[in-house]
Amino acid sequence: MPLVSMRQLLDEAAASGYGVGAFNVNNMEQIQGIMLAARDTASPVIVQASRGARSYAGDRFLYHLMLAAVEEYPEVPVALHLDHGNSPATCISAIELGFTSVMMDGSLLEDGATIADYDYNVAVTREVVEYAHVRGVTVEGELGTLGGIEDGVGSGQVHLTDPDQAVDFVERTGIDALAVAIGTSHGAYKFPRRPDGQILAMRLIEEIHRRLPHTHLVMHGSSSVPASLIERINAAGGRMAPAFGVPVDEIQLGIRHGVRKVNVDTDGRLAITAAAREALAAKPDEFDPRHVTRACREAMRDVVAERMRQFGQAGHAGDYEPRSLEDIRRMYEAQEPTGAAA
């Protein structure tokens, strides 16, 4: 099975009422862990790479690792997504490489740190949509800004998404998916305490979904940051402070109100770090790096499989026949839906 359209994955998720995890990768072991989890749980999946990941792994290495993944796991529908594209040029380069979905994050300027004005966001996002849709490629936009900074992206300021502006933004840009700012943050240190309604504005998701029932919503900064992983890291020599992420039950509430894509990065990093520290501590005389990387791959597999079950995507890999990008291109051209949420 070739890489498929993220639009179809999200349309199918909307039709059946579940969310699809979007998991960040930087290397082979992370990709293998995600694909093993997808096979274990019979899940469709979104694999996403940031600009930092593309720089670290190299575009051609990263893309060919993904080609190997879809060859090895032909039963798994997989979309390859660019996370937080900082400019139309960055998004276009990903599309030309073979990504089947891109995010144009016009909420920030090209430096990935300075908050952009609304008209700029509309203009650059629309430019990417016009380039992508004639190629069958999905586009995610962002309105509002998240807290925290991760992989060099973030203003460090939280600006919640305005529902009225969200309606205008979707109409003017034609995006397939909208990342909403509800108080979440990038990184491990998201909140000073377990978030509640005063910290996470879940009401915004409900309101935006009511106004935009046919637009797929996206939750960024949605790692749950399990205390058990931090405890394991510290027990094996780490020095992480207590941290609070987004509770799974809050993510599930979002999924019930139109969230179809859930971004998870930090949980994978924590799981890998815990596994690496434990592997090194268990065999201090071991010098074969595979002793560590094998443990990291299994840790990624475990945390991703858990999230897939929690988001409801488990068991849905074989529900439908993936459509080609050419099919999706024709859908955009004719403005015909691929599923219930088009």
Phi then psi for 98, rounded to 5 degrees? 130, 5
Residue 262: which H helix or E strand, with range?
Answer: strand 259-264
Beta bridge partners of residue 244, listed in sequence order: 191
Q: Are 275 and 267 in contact (CB under 8 A)?
A: no
Residue 89: which H helix or E strand, with range?
Answer: helix 88-97
Of residues 227, 233, 212, 226, the one with CA closest to residue 306: 226
- With 0-12 CB in 10 A as exposed, 13-18 as middle and 19+ as buried, what is 96? exposed
Cα(277)–Cα(238) distance, integer angstroms: 8
Q: Are 185 and 146 in contact (CB under 8 A)?
A: yes
Cα(209)–Cα(206) distance, integer angstroms: 5
Helix, strand and coil percent figures for the chain, each rounded to 5: 45, 15, 35
Of residues 115, 108, 117, 34, the one with CA closest to residue 77: 34
Measured in whole angstroms, how far is the alpha carbon of residue 308 from the centre of its chain? 13
Give the chain's count of helices (H) and strands (E): 13, 8
Of residues 5, 139, 166, the one with CA closest to residue 85: 139
Measured at the alpha carbon of residue 183, what is the angle toward residues 149 and 86, in degrees to the nearest 5?
Answer: 40
Residue type for 145, please?
A: T
Question: Of the residues 83, 151, 176, 265, which is catalytic?
Answer: 83
In the residue annotation, 168 being an active-site residue is answered as: no
Q: Are 119 and 162 in contact (CB under 8 A)?
A: no
Catalytic positions: 83
